[in-house]
C-alpha cells in the first residue's frame, strides 16, 4: 500500500494492484497517456527527487506536487522517526538501472543540498539525482554514457 500526498493537503492510498492495473502508455520522454474510467488523461513528470520521494507532475495542464510513502516509510513514521534523520548520506547509488546522460559535478567540488549531481535515464525518463546534503564530492564513479545497474555506486561524498 502506498500513501500519497498531493499539494501537501490531499491524501490518497493506492494499492499495488491499483498501480499495476493502470492503463498507461508513454507518448514521449516523461509524458504519458492514461485511460481511467473511459477518461483520457495526459500526464507529464516535470521534476523528480528520488531521495525525498517527491515529484512535480502536470496532469491535463494542472501542476501537482506529489509525495509518496511506501510501507517502510509508513512504518518508520508510525514509530515516530523520520527516514534519514540521523543518517549522514555519504554515497549516491543508482535507484534503478539506466544510462548516465549527464554528470554535473566533479571530484573535489563543493555542492549544496538540492544541487543537481547527475541525470540518469531509465524507462525513457530523465531522472535528476540531486544532492541530499551540503558537502564535497570525494569521487565520481561513473562517466557520461555508462549504463548502470540498480544500487551501483555513482558518487561518494567526503
- pLDDT digit of tens for each residue in the chain (158 aa)? 888 889 988 888 888 888 778 888 999 888 999 988 888 999 999 998 877 788 999 998 899 999 888 877 777 777 766 554 445 788 999 988 999 999 999 999 999 988 999 999 988 888 889 988 889 999 999 999 999 999 999 999 98
Determine the pLDDT at residue 51.
Answer: 74
Query: Which residues, 6+ apart, have CB-to-CB distance to 137 below 8 Å?
Result: 105, 106, 107, 108, 109, 110, 111, 155, 156, 157, 158
CA 48 – CA 38 distance, rounded (Å):
28
Determine the pLDDT at residue 80.
Answer: 65
User: What phi, psi does 125 have (nearest 5°)?
Assistant: -125, 140
Determine the pLDDT at residue 75.
Answer: 77
Determine the pLDDT at residue 86.
Answer: 43
Amino acid at each position: 500500500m502506498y500513501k500519497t500526498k498531493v499539494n501537501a493537503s490531499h491524501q490518497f492510498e493506492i494499492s499495488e494492484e491499483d498501480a499495476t492495473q493502470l492503463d498507461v502508455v508513454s507518448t514521449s520522454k516523461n509524458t504519458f497517456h492514461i485511460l481511467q474510467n473511459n477518461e483520457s488523461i495526459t500526464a507529464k513528470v516535470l521534476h523528480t527527487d528520488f531521495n525525498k520521494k517527491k515529484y512535480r507532475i502536470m496532469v491535463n495542464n494542472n501542476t501537482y506536487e506529489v509525495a509518496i510513502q511506501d510501507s517502510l516509510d509508513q512504518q518508520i513514521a508510525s514509530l515516530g522517526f523520520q527516514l534519514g534523520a540521523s543518517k549522514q548520506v555519504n554515497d549516491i547509488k543508482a535507484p534503478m538501472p539506466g544510462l548516465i546522460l549527464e554528470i554535473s559535478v566533479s571530484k573535489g567540488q563543493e555542492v549544496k543540498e538540492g544541487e543537481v549531481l547527475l541525470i540518469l535515464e531509465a524507462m525513457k525518463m530523465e531522472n535528476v539525482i540531486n544532492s541530499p546534503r551540503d558537502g564535497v564530492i570525494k569521487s565520481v564513479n561513473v562517466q557520461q554514457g555508462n549504463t548502470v545497474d540498480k544500487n551501483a555506486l555513482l558518487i561518494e561524498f567526503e
